[in-house]
Structure 1
């Protein structure tokens, strides 16, 4: 079997196509989640903690380069200038994004599992083979 035909077989599997669709939808969904965090949740959290912008919390590790024209208190300006920093506020925002995304995915999976029909084996009970094997097991135990 040639490399091209193996590739066609691989691509034509249903789970590969499903994965591709999932990645594309996940990318779009991540944008929505980022907006929810950046535009709705973090401003409320910032308001509750006195108007704090979490993306501006950082620890500067390196010196500011000569000729720096930006704001020395701005994480974005310092980052653009290549200053070494620990951006823990930005990390906090990204972490909140992750938790929100994980929770929403959990809710979606839970809803889909409720809507999906149960497999026939779960509804009908054990198969005849399983019942026979149980009888044999019980006989051997005696």
Structure 2
């Protein structure tokens, strides 16, 4: 099973940016945690992060025929990107939306997800474990 692990804007600053909300792990720490977790055994995981909406859309589209699913933390794009929503829908891959923090307990604008309705699941507020839960969900779907 091949999965994309995609992280959006500002997630490259994990460990530095608002650690009281997002934790002290860097994105490299989170990726290493995912890659070394037992849930990843036998999986082909491809990690990608960009601060650019178009780069994320291009990445999803370029891999749409070569992978089995997507775990995506869209970051701030979650709350306004119809283009990302359309790309997820257009790729027709089972996609799980993940957020480190609980977006439903945060500012009102963060409680809105433009991508939720085109994802098979949303996992919010579980920290880096949310990525593991997302992978487990996709494995059960396969």
Same fold, TM exceeding 0.5?
no
TM-score by length of structure 2 reads 0.21
Flag the structure with more relative contact order, 1 or 2, with Cα contacts below 8 A and sequence separation at least 6: 2
- Judging by fraction of residues, say which structure has more helix: 1
- Of structures 1 and 2, the larger Rg is shown by 1
Return the TM-score normalized by structure 1.
0.21
